[in-house]
Copies of this chain bind each other. A is one copy, B any other.
Amino acid sequence: MSIAFPMFRGLSAFPITPTDAHGQVNTDGLVRLVQRLAAAEVDSIGLLGSTGTYAYLTRSERRRAIEAAVGCLDGRVPLIVGVGALRTDDAQDLARDAKAAGADGLLLAPVSYTPLTDDEVFEHFVAVAQATELPLCIYNNPGTTHFTFSDDLVVRLAEVPSIAAVKNPAPPPTEARARHEALRARVPSTFAIGYSGDWNTPNAVLAGGDAWYSVVGGLLPVPALGLLRTAQAGDEAEVARWNGRFQPLWDLFKELSSLRVMYAAADILGLCRAKPPRPILPLPPAAYRRVAAALETLDAGGR
C-alpha cells in the first residue's frame, strides 16, 4: 500500500487543551501533554480536536495552542490541527493560521447549527482544502456535528486534491470489516481510512483501518500504542486482552463522554488540573472515583 501521508496512519493522539475559566490556553500545561505524547512516539498528534475543545476556543487562542505545540515538538511528530468552524470563511482563516503556525495537516469537521446538506458540506470542504496546501482529513463525527458522511460523499471528497484521509466513527465490531472494505474499494489506495470512538476502533484496525484517532491515546499514549500495535499485527487474542484492560474506561467513555473522563483522568494523574469549558461541567466526586478505579484496572493489566 502506498503511504502518501503517514501522518494519517497509526496512532493519532488527541490531547485535551487546558485553559483557564475564560478560555485562555495554558500553554505550559499543553506543552507537558504534547511532550508526553512525543516521548511515547505516537504516530501523530491531533491538536484541537473535539477532545481539544476547538469549538470553544477563539481564533487567537487556537493559534497560540498550535504555536506552543509546534515549538515543543520541533518536527519530531506530525501535527494535525482541527480547523472546524460554523462559517466557511472562518474555517478557511483557521486553516491558514494552522499552516502559518507550522501544522503538518488539517482535520475538518462540518460543524453545524442549521443542518447542512451534502452539497453544502462538499463545497465547504473544497473551500477549506483550497485555502492551504496542507493535507486534510475529513472529520466524520456525527455525535458532535450532527452531520453524517455517506460513503458517497467521502468518495466525492476523496477526489479533491489535498483531501487525503477520513476519520470515521468505528463501526460495531461485527460490521467493521464489511464497512471498511466497502469504502476501501471506492477510494484511491493513497487515501487513508481511519477511525475514532476508542472502544470500537481496535477492531476497526484489525479489519484494515489505517489509523486510530484516539482520545485515550492523548493522555495515555503508552497503553494506547500497546493496544494499537497488537491490532496492526492482526493479533485478535491480544486485542481482546488489551480491550479487557481498557473496558472500565470504555464503559465510562460511553456513559459520561470521553471528554469529561479525560479531564478527570488528567487531574487524577497529576498531569494538569484544567476544567472543561462551561457549560460542560467537571465530573462529580463519585464519577472521579470511578475514573480512578478504571485507570487502576488499566495499569494493573486487567481485572
Q: Does A184 count as interface, using CB distance less than 8 angstroms?
A: no
Q: Are A120 and B279 in contact (CB under 8 A)?
A: yes
CA distance A281 to B111 in the complex (A): 15
Contacts of A280 in B (CB 8 A): 114, 116, 120
Interface of chain A residues 89 through 142 with chain B (CB within 8 A): 89, 110-111, 113-117, 119-121, 123-124, 127
Contacts of A146 in B (CB 8 A): 146
Q: Does A56 count as interface, using CB distance less than 8 angstroms?
A: yes
Interface of chain A residues 53 through 112 with chain B (CB within 8 A): 53, 55-56, 86-89, 110-111
Q: Are B88 and A121 in contact (CB under 8 A)?
A: no
| Copy total for this chain | 2
Rounded to whole Å, the gap between the CB of A113 and the closest CB of chain B is: 4
Knowing A123-B279, A279-B120, A281-B120 are in contact, say whether A115-B86 is a contact too (CB < 8 A).
no
**Contact residue range for chain A?**
35 or more
Knowing A114-B259, A127-B278, A278-B124 are in contact, say whether A23-B119 is a contact too (CB < 8 A).
no
Rounded to whole Å, the gap between the CB of A95 and the closest CB of chain B is: 14
- Which residue of the partner chain B has the closest CB to A110? B279
Contacts of A276 in B (CB 8 A): 114
Q: Are A89 and B22 in contact (CB under 8 A)?
A: yes
Contact of A144 among B89, B114, B119, B278 (CB under 8 A): B114
Q: Does A171 count as interface, using CB distance less than 8 angstroms?
A: no
Q: Does A143 count as interface, using CB distance less than 8 angstroms?
A: yes
Rounded to whole Å, the gap between the CB of A108 and the closest CB of chain B is: 11
Contacts of A115 in B (CB 8 A): 143-144, 257
Q: Does A234 count as interface, using CB distance less than 8 angstroms?
A: no
9 A–B pairs (Cβ distance < 8 Å), ordered by A: A50-B114, A56-B87, A87-B277, A110-B279, A113-B144, A115-B144, A119-B281, A121-B279, A123-B281
Chain A interfacial positions (CB closer than 8 Å to B)? 21-23, 50, 53, 55-56, 86-89, 110-111, 113-117, 119-121, 123-124, 127, 143-144, 146, 257, 259, 276-281
